[in-house]
Amino acid sequence: MGLLTGKTALITGGSRGIGAAIVRYFAAEGARVAFTYARSVGPAEALVAELGDNVKAYQSDAASFEAAGDLVKAVTADFGGFDILINNAGITRDTLLLRMSESQWDEVMDNNLKSIFNLTKHALRPLMKSGAGSVINMSSIVGVTGQAGQANYAASKAGIIGFSKSLAKEMGSRNIRCNVIAPGFIVTDMTDELSDDLKAAYLGQIPLKRMGDAEEIAKACAFLGSDLSSYVNGQVIGVDGGMS
C-alpha cells in the first residue's frame, strides 16, 4: 500500500467500469484523485462518497477542447496541480463499415481520440510544473489487431498509440513520460452485453482462458503512474491474457 502516496491523478471516464476501478485503486494506494464523468451523476457521487475527501468528481465533455481547458483549471485550483494524467474516457458505436454513418465515425473519433489531444494539450503545463509527470492513455487490443464491425473504434485506438509515442519523444526531456495500456477483453458493463456465443468465441482466443478484471488494468496504471516505471516511456503494455 502507498505506492502512489504524494501523487495526484486526473482520470477521465472514472465513474464506471475500468475508470472506476482505477479511481478506487489509486485512492487505495494513497493518491489524491480527480476524475471526470459525462452523464453518470449517481455513480460519480457514490464513488466520491465511498472514497472520501481525497477524491473529487467533475462533470466534463471529453470531446470539447474548451471543456478540457476548464477542467484542468478547476483541478489545478482544487488540488494545486497534478502529476498523473489518465485518458480513459471512450465510447463505441459498432457497426460494419458498409452501414457506418459519418456521425458514428465522428462521434467515436471525437470522444476517443480528439479527447486525448484536448486534455493532454491543456495538461502539459501543469505536468511540467510538477517536475515529473506520467501520461497514461487507454487504447485497446482492437487498436493493435483491428476488429470487424469496429473500424471507427479501432482507428481511434490505433491513433492513440501513435499520439502517445510521439508525445513520449517530445516531452521526455521535460521528465514527462507517456505510455499506453491496451486492454483485452475485460469484464465491464460493455462486455456484459455480449452474447454467450460471442463471449465463448473471444475466450477461445485468450491463452489464459478468461476475461480480465478491471482492477488488473488499474494495477497496470498504478505501475505506470508510480516511480517504479521511471524509465518506461513510449511503450504499449497489453493487458490481454496473451491475445496480442
Return the pLDDT at 42.
Answer: 96
Assess whether 37 carries a catalytic annotation. no
Residue 88 assigned as binding residue: yes
Return the pLDDT at 119.
Answer: 98
pTM of the prediction? 0.95
Residue 154 assigned as binding residue: yes
- Tens digits of residue pLDDT in 154-210: 999 999 999 999 999 999 999 999 999 999 999 987 777 777 887 888 889 999 999
Domain edges within the chain: 8-238
Catalytic residue among 25, 37, 58, 153: 153
Residue 148 assigned as binding residue: no
Residue 58 assigned as binding residue: no
Residue 156 assigned as binding residue: yes
Return the pLDDT at 199.
Answer: 80
- What secondary structure, in 3-state letters, does the chain show? CCCCCCCEEEECCCCCHHHHHHHHHHHHCCCEEEEEECCCHHHHHHHHHHHCCCEEEEECCCCCHHHHHHHHHHHHHHHCCCCEEEECCCCCCCCCHHHCCHHHHHHHHHHHHHHHHHHHHHHHHHHHHHCCEEEEEECCHHHHHCCCCCHHHHHHHHHHHHHHHHHHHHHHHHCEEEEEEEECCECCHHHHCCCHHHHHHHHCCCCCCCCECHHHHHHHHHHHHCHHHCCCCCCEEEECCCCC
Class assignment of domain 8-238? alpha beta
